[in-house]
Amino acid sequence: MLPPEPPPLPALTRAEAELIDRYLEVVDLLGRINPTLDGERRTARVSLPPGTGT
């Protein structure tokens, strides 16, 4: 038997929605300033330590 459905969450206040919007803007700007490299470009920049000679 399934548990009862929880009540719906209340809508965000205007201040809460604005906070989330500002947070997402900052995250977007940080992603543009410091983009994550895709795997192919990342592997070209990774250097391995020299072999131990074993």
- Looking at residue 14, its pLDDT comes to 94
**pLDDT value, residue 44:** 62
Name the band, by pLDDT with cuts 50, 70 and 90, for residue 39: low
Residue % of the chain over a pLDDT of 90: 33
Integer angstrom CA distances of residue 42 from 9, 11, 21, 31, 36: 42, 42, 31, 16, 9
Give the pTM: 0.51
H runs (alpha helix) in 1-54: 14-33, 39-45
Confidence (pLDDT) at 2: 87
Are the beta carbons of 12 and 20 closer than 8 angstroms?
yes
Specify the residue for token string 């391995």: 48
| Both structure tokens of 34 | 């410091």
Residue 43 structure tokens: 């592997």
Is the pLDDT assigned to residue 36 strictly greater than 60? yes
